[in-house]
Amino acid sequence: MHKSLYYYTAAAATTGVAGILHFVYSANAINRGISPTVIFLIIAGIAQLFWVLPMIKRWGRRWYYVGIGGTLVLMALYMITRAPNPIIGGGRAIPISGLGLAIEVFQAAFIIITALIVAKERTVPASQREELR
């Protein structure tokens, strides 16, 4: 097994775990009723679980950039909602939870690993990239 396979597997695993944790978070939040937050968490979970496919199948840099960008957006939304601001209603911050922090850690790991994959692909000549697959 080629060493680069571990990077792709690790990236797929981190985004997959983050997606599953989004579902767990939504299951906890649904106890208070279906809300825009619950719907958002479910959509985020689906998107992150989908992103396992481009990483395992190695769909290419464009997909990796979109994955990094989407994950950065999710992380930014998390941070915005955890600080007091008028966007989230009443200027109150949403409490920080261990589950939310775990999601952020897995998302950060996905970004770092995927950035390493992109950097590694840039340094490998196109003729040798096929050999890595």
60 occurs within a structural domain: yes
Q: What is the pLDDT of residue 90?
A: 67
Q: Which two tokens stand for residue 37?
A: 């937050």
**CA pair distance 82, 93, nearest whole angstrom:** 5
Q: What is the pTM of this model?
A: 0.85
User: Domain tally for the chain?
Assistant: 1
Give the separation between CA 92 and CA 73, rounded to whole angstroms.
21
Q: Has residue 101 been placed in a domain?
A: yes
Q: Per the domain annotation, does 117 fall within a domain? A: yes
pLDDT for the residue 130? 55
Please indicate, yes or no, if residue 28 is contained in any of the structural domains.
Answer: yes
Predicted pLDDT of residue 29 = 81
**Which residue is listed with tokens 């939870």?**
97
* Residue 43, in any domain of the structure: yes
Please, are residues 26 and 38 in contact by the beta-carbon 8 Å criterion?
yes
Question: 80: which 2 tokens?
Answer: 């915005």
**53 assigned to some structural domain:** yes
Residue 133 lies in a domain: no
96-119 in b/e form (b: 16+ CB < 10 A) is eeeebeebbebbebbbebbeebee
Helices (H), the chain: 4-29, 36-50, 52-57, 61-81, 98-123, 126-132
The pLDDT score that the predictor gives to residue 89 is 65
pLDDT at 115: 96
Ranges of residues in the chain whose predicted pLDDT is under 50: none
Determine the pLDDT at residue 111. Answer: 97
Domain encompassing residue 114? 4-121
- The pLDDT of residue 126 is 61
